Structure 1
Amino acid sequence: MNLTQFNQRFYHARNVRPEPDYPLRKKGKAAAVLLPLVKREQLTLLLTRRSDKLKHHAGQVSFPGGRFDESDIHLKETALRETEEEIGLSRDKVEIIGQLPVFRTISRYEVTPFISIVEPEFQLQLNPDEVDNVFEIPLAEAINPANHLTHQVKRHNSTYPVYFIPWQGQMIWGATAAFIKALSRHLL
């Protein structure tokens, strides 16, 4: 899918339906991630593999982002700041074009995903304390429903979906896969 095709599908009147998430008993901690679509001949999604050194979510595939900080004016600023801190992607290479519905996680976060277009001439500088690797997946592959798996888990006498997207030996799962699934349903 190229940028023109993406824009034709992304910008329409239909709202993005949220994916089922984890119901929180009280308000969760605010967080934001950036869904970077790299502007190549065919768009790609840029993902990170979190450092094995991290206390939480070590080794998981994710989008760059993190917890809202008091110094952030808006969650959009959180996504941009965290992206710069984690992978060194300069905000002048990023154009935020929209957002997906907030997704509540079992770790008590309310995550707002921001969709962005990234100019391909970027230099990354990974923060080794946070990120081990960065890779790209073709958007067409990521949003293909045939690649989306759902596993039901039981917690506190209720059943919740956990989403998975396998990609070249990597397993994209949880909230990251839910964001991709929501984008997929909106585009397709």
Structure 2
Amino acid sequence: MTRPAITQPQLAPVTGVDDHLPAVPAAALTAEAIRARLAAAAAWTPEFAGDGGLFANREPAGAAVLVPLVQRDEGLSLLLTRRTDHLRDHAGQISFPGGRVEPEDDGPVATALRETEEEIGLPREFIQVIGQLPVYSTVTAFQVTPVVALVEPGFTLKLDEFEVAEAFEVPLAFLMNPTHHRHHRFEFGGAERRFLSMPWQGPEREYFIWGATAAMLRNFYRLLITV
């Protein structure tokens, strides 16, 4: 059975909030601590491996995204994008910069860096890759490798206006606190979907972080909270 598309995820009922789980402590959210945790992590099973079944019976395709941790004076922040509304896949959603693997790419790191430069104009000289998270399978049949990187401040972004409507930063401490992790359930025509969200109120608007982006961030949380 084809699963229902979710066009207004913020309206899906909340079935639970993970405020019973501990937040990642501040000492584990420094650049040095995250670098060490990624280096020490052996093979591990993520909490969320993917969204499940496929739409349109697409063939699986490789992809990579950058998880860009900007080193601000007040602590690390995560640089995210809001996709434009006319795109075929994930229109209007909050996403990591990244995209499909191309034949010329030498692995997922190369894909993530190339796509980040193309989408938001973040120069590679500001980026230091420090590790990877487990592959995540999206409902649109992409096998996504999240590439974690530290980003030096001082950069100027140049957005690809066809793909990216906006780029913004969220404090990493907010995202690594499960008090802000919400579970949703959506049902239509007898088919069901469940997803995670991490809504963040920015200075001017709320950003509804959900789906694959929220799931990969939850996997990151599980890595950092594990001793």
Whether the TM-score (by the shorter chain) exceeds 0.5 is yes
Q: C-alpha distance in 2, partners of 1:114/1:21?
A: 16
Give the drift of 1:8: 5.0
CA contact (8 A) 2:51 2:212 kept: no
Give the drift of 1:139: 0.6
Match of 1:80 in 2: 113
Match of 2:128 in 1: 95
Q: C-alpha distance in 2, partners of 1:96/1:112?
A: 13
Match of 1:68 in 2: 101
User: What is the CA deviation profile of residues 17-57 of structure 1, one whole-angstrom value per residue up to 9, with x for unaligned ones?
Assistant: 32142345896111100000001120000000111232221
Q: Which amino acid aligns with 1:174?
A: G
CA contact (8 A) 2:135 2:146 kept: yes
Structure 2 unaligned spans of 5+:
1-28
Match of 1:6 in 2: 34
Number of aligned residues: 188
Match of 1:17 in 2: 45
How does the TM-score come out when normalised to structure 2?
0.75
CA contact (8 A) 1:86 1:131 kept: yes
Q: Which amino acid aligns with 1:21?
A: G
CA contact (8 A) 1:21 1:161 kept: no
In structure 2, the CA distance between the partners of 1:158 and 1:187, relative to structure 1 (3 Å rule), is farther
Give the drift of 1:3: 2.0
Q: C-alpha distance in 2, partners of 1:54/1:27?
A: 19
> Quick one: percent identity of the two aligned structures?
44
Instruction: Give the root-mean-square deviation of aligned CA atoms.
Output: 2.3
User: What is the CA deviation profile of residues 130-182 of structure 1, one whole-angstrom value per residue up to 9, with x for unaligned ones?
Assistant: 11111101111011111111224569x88654111100111001110011101
In structure 2, the CA distance between the partners of 1:161 and 1:99, relative to structure 1 (3 Å rule), is farther
Give the drift of 1:98: 0.6
Query: Which structure: greater strand fraction?
Result: 1
Query: Which residue of the other structure, out of 38, 41, 45, is the alignment partner of 2:70?
Result: 38
Structure 1 unaligned spans of 5+:
none
Deviates more, 1:30-39 or 1:68-77: 68-77
Match of 1:117 in 2: 150
Q: C-alpha distance in 2, partners of 1:15/1:112?
A: 14
